[in-house]
Structure 1
Amino acid sequence: MKKFYIFFLALTAAGSVLAQPNNNPKSNHGNKFEQLGTMLSTPNEYRSASGAPGPKYWQQKADYDITATLDDDKQRLDGSETIDYYNNSPDPLTYLWIQLDENQHKKDGESAKFDESRMKDKMTLRELQGIMGHNLDLGDHIVSVKDAQGNALDYTINETMMRIEMPHTLMPGERFKFKIVWWYNISDRLTIGGRGGYEYFPEDKNYLYTMAQWYPRMAVYSDFQGWQNKQFTGRGEFALTFGDFKVSLNVPADHFVGGTGQCSNYAQTLTGAQLKRWEQAQTAKEPVEIVTLAEVKKQMQGHATARKVWQFHAENVRDFAWVSSRRVVWDAMSTQIDGGKKVMAMSIYGPEAYPLYRRYSTKLVAHTLKVYSKHTFPYPYPCATSVEASNGMEYPMICFNNGRADKDGTYSEAVKYAMTGVIIHEVGHNFFPMIVNSDERQWTWMDEGLNTFCQFLAEQEWDNHYPSQRGPAYKIVDYMKLPPNELEPIMTNSENIVRFGPNAYSKPATALNILRETVMGRKLFDYSFKTYSHRWAFKHPTPEDFFRTMEDASAVDLDWFWRGWFYGIDPVDISLDSVKYYRMNTKNPEVENTYDRAQFDRNLDNISSKRNKDEGIKFAVEADTSLKDFYGKWDRFAATPLTKQSYQAMFDALTPAERAMYQSKNYFYQLSLSNKGGCVMPLIIEWTYADGTKEVERISAYIWRKNESNITKVFAKSKEVKNIKIDPYRETADIDENNNSWPREYAPSRFELFKSQEGIRGASSGTNPMKESMKKP
C-alpha cells in the first residue's frame, strides 16, 4: 500500500494529470464520470468498502508521564518522560519510531537546506537567518533511553526521527514501558520560526513560552502504511498516537501555566482570590477574569526566584502543549455543548491583546465548540483554550492565535477579523485532526481543508455578513486560473505543494461547501459528514475512508467530483455559447399570420432596398399605378373564411393531448454550452422573464456524462425569457463569468495604482478607523 502512495505522490508532485488516468482518452466521454477504481486502496478487514472501520480495525496506544523544568534565565527546558506503549497491531515489532520535532531547528538540519531562496529589496531578519543559518545549539539532546528496569536501550537518530531498538520483539497484545531523559534550548519563535518557542518583550523584559512539539513523541504505526516515519521539515504536520497524559511542569512561581487537559492543583498554584474566581467561572455565562490585568501588570515588574509545579492530566489525546508566562491574563466561562455537557471555554493573553481578547476570544471559543459539535459530534473534552501568541497553531484543548491592538488600545477591522478567523480555525482543529486523527504529514487537506470548511460554517453563524476568505466558491477562482505548472491536485503530499494555502486549505474547503450547497444539498451532506466524523472520531482515517463514507451515507455517486476537485487541477469554466428560441406553429391563421408577416417582410429587407429608400428613389410600381394588379393589393396573411375553416377541421381531428399542446403558450429555448475549463459541474441556470420575474433551475452534473465537452439542452418555458445567466450565485467557482450570460454581460474590472505591503501576522496594516475616530478635527 505504501508503495502505491509513493508512486502516486511522485506523479502529483510534478503537476501531472496522470494522477487521474483516462479510460477512454480519444473520446469526449467515458473519462470524468468513471469510477475511481484502482486509484483507491483495496478495502480489507481493517477498512471496509463503506468507508467505516473494518471488523478488525486496530490502532496503537501510548501513555505518557512527563516531568519538565523551565529555566526562564537560560531559556532551556529539561525533561524526562516514561512512555507506556501498547502494541494492538497484529504485527511483531522489533523497533519503535519516536518523533524529535525540535531537531528541525538544528543548525545542520536538512530542512534548513533544501528549500529555494532568493534576495529581495526588503528582507526580514527571519528571511536573512533562513539564508545564513545560525550557530545556536538547538535541537533535542537525548541524555538517556532506558527500559523500565533501567537498562540502556540502543537508539539511532536520523534528523527528526529516532529509532529505538527493542530488547525483545514486542508481540501483538504486549506493552513496553521505557524512559527518555532529554533537554533542549528553547528557540526564539519569531526569528528562528517553528511552532513552539519563546517570544521576548523587551519593554518589560519578560518571555512568553508557547511549548509545542516539546517532548519526544511516538510516531504512528498503522494498518495502511506501517510506521509513519516521514521527516518533519516544518510544513507537513503530525501523525500521532492517542493516549493518556500526566504532566508536571516546574516553572517560576510568578508564571501562569495553561495546557492541554485539566490542571489538578489549582489550589496550590493560584491565589485565594484567583481560585474563588475560577469557581465562579464554572457557572458564569460571561467570561470571568481569573488572573486579572491588574495582577499581571504588577507581577510583570519582578522576577520570582521561587518555583511552582503545575500538574495536568488529559485522557485520550494525541498530544500535549502548554503556555507559561508571568505576563498573561486568564479568563474563562462555562458553555453548554449539544447534549448538555459543560465545557470550560478559556483564553490566555498579554496586555497588548487585552482590548480584543477580553471582549471576543472566550466567546469565540464557546461559539466554535457549539457550531462544530452541531456539524460533527459533541465536543468530548472538558475545556478548550485560546492563547494569544502572535501565532496560529493547534493542539488538543489549547491553541495559539494572533490579534493585538495598537498601543492606544485601538485596532483595525482587518485585525479584528483576522483574530476572529484564526481563533475559530485553531479551536476547530480540536475536531480535525485532534479527534478525527488523520495523518497531516501525508494529507494536509484532511485536517486543514475539513477544518477550514467547518471554520466557514462557524464564521457564517457568528455573523451573517462575516467576510470569510475561504469557503465561498468565487474566492478560489484566482488560484484555479493559474497555469498548470503552479498547481497540483489536492491529493498531493504537503511537502510538494507550491501554493500551500490555496491547495490545502481553500480549495478543499471550497469543494466541501460546493458539495453541501450545490451537489448534494445540505440534508444529505450534513448527514454524511456527521457519519464520517462519528465513524472516525479517535481513529486514523485515510482519504478513501472519507470519500467512501460520503457516498455510502448519501447514496450519491461522487467519484466524478473527487476526480475533478481532489485528483485533478482543471478549473470550472462553463460557457453559454448560444441560445436558440422556438415557438410551436399553432396552425391558427389568426395567431400565426402576424409572425409570418414579420418573417416575410424581414426576408424582403436587404441593404440595397434600404439605401434605395433612403435615397428617395421613385419606384416604378408606385409611380405608375396601372402596374398594380390583384397581387399588388392582396394581403397574403389575412385570415379568410376558407383558411379558418381548414384550421378548425384540423383542430377538431386532434386528440385531447395534441389539442392541449397546440393551445399551450410554451416557449422553447435551446441552450448550447461548452466545458471550457475541463472540470464538470452541475448547471445552475437563472431565467429572467419579460415580466421581470426570475426562476433558478438546477441540473445535475450528469448532464455531461455522454459528452464532457459540449452539451445542448432544450427548456420549455411558459413565459418569454429576457435574460439567461449561468451560476447566478457564483457557487461553482467558474473562472470566467463573462461567458455565463445571454445576452452577454461584461462586468467592469478595476485596478489599483500600487499594492500596499503586508505587515506581520496579526498586526494592524492600512487604515484604522477606530484610531481615526479619536483624532480631533
Structure 2
Amino acid sequence: MMLRFSLALACVVTFTSIGWAQPLANPKHSDRADRFYQIDQWLPTPNSARTASGAPGPQYWQQRADYDIDVTLDDANQKISGTARIQYHNLSPHPLSYIWVQLDQNRFRPDGDSVTSAPAPSLAPKITFDAMSSILASMVFDGGYKIESVKSFDAKKSVVGDAMKFTIHQTMMRIDLDKPLAPGKSLGFVIDYQYNIVDAKVIRARGGYEFFEKDDNYIYEISQWYPRVAAYTDYSGWQHKQFLGRGEFTLELGDYDVRITAPSEMVVAATGVLKNADDVLKPEWKERLAEATSAKKPMFIVTPDEAKTNEPIRTKKTKTWEFRADNVRDFAFAASRKFIWDAMGVDVQGQKVMAMSYYPGEAEPLWSQYSTEAIIHTLDIYGKYSFAYPYPVAISVNGPVYGMEYPMICFNGPRPEEDGTYTKDTKYGLISVIIHEVGHNFYPMIINSDERQWTWMDEGLNTFLQYLAEQEWETDYPSRRGDPEKIVPYMRGGNQRPIMSGSEEILQFGNNAYSKPATALNILRETILGREQFDFAFAEYARRWKFKRPTPSDFFRTMEDASGTDLDWFWRGWFYSTDHVDLAIEDLKLFQVDSGDPDVEAERKRKEKDDKEPTLSKERNEALRKRIEWQAGLKDFYNSEDYDPLAVDEAARKSFQKFVDGLNEKERAMLRRSTNFYVATFKNVGGLVMPIIVRLHYTDNTSELFTIPVDIWRGNGDRVGKLFVTDKEITRIELDPRRELADTEVSNNHWPPRIVPSRFKLYKDEKKKNPMQKLRDKNKDDGVTDSDSNSEDTKDEE
C-alpha cells in the first residue's frame, strides 16, 4: 500500500508524560503487560555483604571447613569405611547452636525421600531389562550412611573427645553443640562411618562402581563419599534442602588431607596433589610422570600393556595414597586395576598444571587421543573468558558415570564399541562431556554458586562456555546447545517453568537448566551487548566471585554494572517467564511526499488512472448500449471533451507558488524529494521482547541489514511501527535473517508472506504376514516340508 502525505509549517508541542512500570496487567493500555518492568523488587535488597553493583560488599563473609580423612575402599564387598576429622570455622557474624552435615548417600536408602517420592516410570507398552533392573535394585539396595559415632575433636592436640548429639533427617544430619559456636571461632568434630557403594550401571548415580565380568574387575568413581558440612550463607542461612538426586550441591571451601587405602594393584586418581608418590608409584611411572610435565603431547604414565597385565593380579596387600588439596569445596577419587594413565603438563599463566586421564582398555583408542587434549583445551578457553585455572591438576576419568564434576577431577562415560570403532556422536560426545565437566571447575567449583537452589547458575553458565570452547575446537563443531535456532522447539513447546525455578521443580531439566540459559547468554553476547561488552562484564563477574558464593542477583547486577546496560527486560523475559520469541511482520506501507504542485499532482493522478486495471463489472459494462448515446439532449458540458476533472486552474498555480515563495531553500529541497518513506509494522506474538533485526531487499538486488534496539518496544510491547527512509524501492523484508533471536515461527518473518515448505515422505504400505505364513517361512528356513509339519510324529515331538 502506498500513501502520500503533505508537508506543512506547524508549531510542535512536546508533552512529557510521567509513568511507572507495573508487573500486573494494565487494562487501560493496549500493551497489557510492562515488559520493561524493573526487577529490583524481585531481587534481594543490597547490603554491606552484597552490593547493588553485584560485587561482594565490605562485610561479605563465607564459612570454611577443613577436612582430614582416612578412608578404606573394600573391593571384596564394594564398601567404604572412613574417619572424617572436620575443622569448622564460623566466619559469620552469627553464633551457631548446631551444624548441618550432608549425608548424600542416604538418598539410596529404600525408605529415603529420593526413592519414595519418585514418580511412577512409564511401564507400558514396554520397558527395557536395564530399566527394570534399576527399579528392582533401588527397592532393596542397602544404601545410605552407617554413622558409627560423632565426637568432638581437638585438631591441634589430635585428641578425640566426648560424643556429640546428632539427629539424622533423610540426607541431612544435625550436630547439636553444647554451647553456641561464637563468630570467629572454630570447632572440630570427627565422624566414623561406612556405607555400601552403589552399582552405578544399575542405579543411576553421581558416583559408584562398574563391574567388568570378563576380567572380574571394578572401576570405582567415588563421590559424595564423606559427611560434608552444609553451607551456611548470608542469603538463606543453612542450605539444608534434601538431596533428591537432581539439585546438586553448595559447599564450603577448605583444605583437604586425604589418605585412601585400596588394594595395592589399584591405581588411584583424586582431587589434589599426590604427596607420597615414592610409596605408591612404580619407579618407571614416577620417571614418566616427571617427563610428562614438559611433554608436547600426552604420554602414558601407566601404559595399556601395563594396565592389561595389572588386571588379573590379586593380593591381600594394600597401599595408602595420600593427597593434599587446598581451597576446594569438595573431594572425589577413582580407583581401579584397569586404569591406563596418561598425562601432559601445560603452562597456565606461569603455573604448571598436570592434565591427566585415567581409563580402561575398553576406552581405547578414543581416550588416549582426545581426553587429555580436551582437558587442556578447556583450561585454555575457560581461562580466556574467566580467569587462569588456579589448581595444580585437572583429571578426566572413564567409568560408569556419564558426566559428573568435582574439584580437579571429573567422571566421563563415552567409550568406543568393543571392536574399537566409534560413531561420530560418540567422539564428539566424549570431547563435549570432558569440556563440560572440566569446565565445572570454574562454575561452580571456584565460582561457588548454590546448585541445590539454582541449577542454571552452574549448568547454564558452564554450557554457554562449553559452546564457546567447542567452537574453538574445530570448524562446524556439532554443538548440541548454544545456537539460538536449536532452542526453538523447546521455546515453542509447553510444559515449561521459568529458569529461575528451584532445581527440583524444573520441568524438562536439560532444556531449562542447560540449553535455555546458555542460549540466552549467547544471544546476550552476540546480539544485545556485543562480544566486547559482554566478555568484559562476564569476566568481571568471574573475577568478583572467584572463591566466593554468588547468587542470581549478583550475576544480573554485575552484568548490568560492568556493561553499562539496563538488562532488566532481558532477565525478566528469559529467566523469570516462559514467554518465547516470535516476532512477525504484520504490514508494510509506503508513503511519499505530496509535492503540492497542482500540475505535477494532476499528471500523477492521470497516470495512476491510466495504469489502473478496470474492474470486472466496468469491463463488461463497456459493451452495454448507453442511453446518453442514443437519446438526444442528455449530454452537457460534463460529457464534452472540454471537461477535464484533473485540469489545473490558474488560481491553484498561484496558491502553490505563494506557498513555495514562503519556504526557505532547505524546505524547498524537502518538497522536491522523491524519497520513499516505508512504515513496517511488527507484532510481538510470543511475548518476549527482543531487538528487531530486519533485512530490506531492494529492486536493484541490493540489501541492507538493520538492528533496531529492543527499546522500540517500551511504549507498546505488542505492536510497533518502524520508519525506513530510502531512495530505493523495497521488494521484500525478512526478520532475523541470520537466525540469532531464537524466533520460533519463521513463516511470519517475511513480507510479502512467503510459503515455508515442509516435507513429507512416500512409503509403501506392505501387507504383514499372518501367523500361518510366518510358520510356513520358519519351516522353510528349518528345512521342514509341509507334509512333515502336519505329521503326527512332528506333533508328538513338539
Answer whether TM exceeds 0.5 for this pair.
yes
Distance 2:541 2:571 in 1: 16
* 1:85 is the counterpart of 2:110: no
Provide, for residues 608-657 of structure 1, a one-character-per-residue CA deviation record: whole Å limited to 9, x for no partner.
Answer: 234467xx88999999xxx9999769999999999999988876764232
Query: Are the counterparts in 2 of residues 261 and 314 from structure 1 also a CA contact under 8 Å?
Result: yes
* 1:106 is the counterpart of 2:109: yes
* 1:120 is the counterpart of 2:96: no
Structure 1 partner of 2:571:
562
Q: 1:645 to 1:443 in 2, by over 3 A?
A: same
Code of the aligned partner of 2:75: D
**CA shift for structure 1 position 225:** 0.8
Distance 1:240 1:594 in 2: 82
Query: Are the counterparts in 2 of residues 25 and 31 from structure 1 also a CA contact under 8 Å?
Result: no
Distance 1:312 1:236 in 2: 28
Identify which of 509, 522, 527 aligns with 1:513: 522
* 1:344 is the counterpart of 2:354: yes
Identify which of 717, 723, 726 aligns with 1:717: 726
**CA shift for structure 1 position 525:** 1.2
Structure 2 partner of 1:4:
none
Structure 1 partner of 2:291:
280
Query: Are the counterparts in 1 of residues 690 and 710 from structure 2 also a CA contact under 8 Å?
Result: yes
Distance 1:632 1:314 in 2: 104
- Give 3-state SS (helix, strand or coil) of 1:433's partner: helix
Provide, for residues 447-502 of structure 1, a one-character-per-residue CA deviation record: whole Å limited to 9, x for no partner.
Answer: 1111111111111111231122211111111112223xx11111100111121111
Distance 1:415 1:622 in 2: 88
Query: Are the counterparts in 1 of residues 455 and 503 from structure 2 also a CA contact under 8 Å?
Result: yes
**CA shift for structure 1 position 267:** 2.4
Provide, for residues 44-64 of structure 1, a one-character-per-residue CA deviation record: whole Å limited to 9, x for no partner.
Answer: 111111111111110111000
Structure 1 partner of 2:145:
140
Q: 1:63 to 1:724 in 2, by over 3 A?
A: same
Distance 1:594 1:463 in 2: 63
* 1:238 is the counterpart of 2:249: yes
- Give 3-state SS (helix, strand or coil) of 1:697's partner: strand
Provide, for residues 539-561 of structure 1, a one-character-per-residue CA deviation record: whole Å limited to 9, x for no partner.
Answer: 11111111111111122111111
Higher mean alpha-carbon deviation, 316-325 vs 346-355, is at 346-355
Q: Which has the larger radius of gyration?
A: 2
Query: Are the counterparts in 2 of residues 30 and 705 from structure 1 also a CA contact under 8 Å?
Result: no
Distance 1:126 1:544 in 2: 42
Identify which of 672, 693, 698 aligns with 2:681: 672
In structure 1, stretches of 5+ residues that fail to align are 1-19, 755-777
**CA shift for structure 1 position 417:** 1.6
Query: Are the counterparts in 1 of residues 464 and 519 from structure 2 also a CA contact under 8 Å?
Result: yes
Distance 1:159 1:532 in 2: 35
Structure 1 partner of 2:712:
703
Structure 1 partner of 2:13:
none
Structure 2 partner of 1:576:
585
Identify which of 338, 344, 360 aligns with 2:370: 360
- Give 3-state SS (helix, strand or coil) of 2:446's partner: coil
Distance 1:752 1:270 in 2: 61
**CA shift for structure 1 position 311:** 1.0
Provide, for residues 353-384 of structure 1, a one-character-per-residue CA deviation record: whole Å limited to 9, x for no partner.
Answer: 22211111111111111111111111111121
Structure 1 partner of 2:17:
none
- Give 3-state SS (helix, strand or coil) of 2:594's partner: coil
Code of the aligned partner of 1:138: G
* 1:199 is the counterpart of 2:210: yes
**CA shift for structure 1 position 150:** 2.4
Distance 1:398 1:594 in 2: 82
Structure 2 partner of 1:382:
392
Code of the aligned partner of 2:745: D
Identify which of 445, 449, 455 aligns with 1:438: 449
Higher mean alpha-carbon deviation, 460-469 vs 564-573, is at 460-469
**CA shift for structure 1 position 595:** 4.5
Provide, for residues 135-172 of structure 1, a one-character-per-residue CA deviation record: whole Å limited to 9, x for no partner.
Answer: 23221111111111421111111111011111322101
Structure 2 partner of 1:489:
498
Distance 2:380 2:106 in 1: 37
Query: Are the counterparts in 2 of residues 23 and 34 from structure 1 also a CA contact under 8 Å?
Result: no
Structure 1 partner of 2:668:
659
Identify which of 732, 741, 760 aligns with 2:750: 741
Sequence identity (%) = 49
Q: 1:25 to 1:159 in 2, by over 3 A?
A: farther
Distance 1:113 1:595 in 2: 81
Identify which of 459, 471, 491 aligns with 1:460: 471
- Give 3-state SS (helix, strand or coil) of 1:294's partner: helix
Q: 1:592 to 1:408 in 2, by over 3 A?
A: farther
- Give 3-state SS (helix, strand or coil) of 2:725's partner: strand
- Paired positions, count: 729
Q: 1:750 to 1:365 in 2, by over 3 A?
A: farther
Q: 1:650 to 1:478 in 2, by over 3 A?
A: same
Distance 2:255 2:588 in 1: 65
RMSD: 2.8
* 1:599 is the counterpart of 2:608: yes
Structure 1 partner of 2:404:
393
* 1:229 is the counterpart of 2:233: no
Code of the aligned partner of 1:144: S
Structure 1 partner of 2:789:
none
Within 5 A, what are the aligned runs for 1:35-50? Answer: 35-50=38-53
Structure 2 partner of 1:22:
24
Distance 2:320 2:421 in 1: 37
TM-score, normalised to structure 2, is 0.86
Q: 1:383 to 1:25 in 2, by over 3 A?
A: farther
Provide, for residues 570-609 of structure 1, a one-character-per-residue CA deviation record: whole Å limited to 9, x for no partner.
Answer: 1111111111112223457897677534421255621123
- Give 3-state SS (helix, strand or coil) of 1:601's partner: helix
Q: 1:493 to 1:640 in 2, by over 3 A?
A: same
Q: 1:488 to 1:286 in 2, by over 3 A?
A: same
Distance 1:508 1:491 in 2: 10
* 1:729 is the counterpart of 2:705: no
Code of the aligned partner of 1:100: L
Identify which of 280, 296, 318 aligns with 1:269: 280
**CA shift for structure 1 position 188:** 0.2
Distance 1:672 1:560 in 2: 21
Structure 2 partner of 1:54:
57
Identify which of 679, 688, 699 aligns with 1:690: 699
Distance 2:760 2:232 in 1: 53
TM-score, normalised to structure 1, is 0.88
Q: 1:203 to 1:596 in 2, by over 3 A?
A: farther
Identify which of 76, 81, 85 aligns with 2:79: 76
Distance 2:451 2:760 in 1: 39
Distance 1:431 1:207 in 2: 30
- Give 3-state SS (helix, strand or coil) of 1:85's partner: strand
Query: Are the counterparts in 2 of residues 239 and 437 from structure 1 also a CA contact under 8 Å?
Result: yes
- Give 3-state SS (helix, strand or coil) of 2:70's partner: strand
- Give 3-state SS (helix, strand or coil) of 1:334's partner: strand
Q: 1:639 to 1:275 in 2, by over 3 A?
A: farther
Query: Are the counterparts in 2 of residues 126 and 193 from structure 1 also a CA contact under 8 Å?
Result: no
Q: 1:599 to 1:121 in 2, by over 3 A?
A: same
Structure 1 partner of 2:301:
290
Query: Are the counterparts in 1 of residues 23 and 33 from structure 2 also a CA contact under 8 Å?
Result: no
Structure 1 partner of 2:558:
549
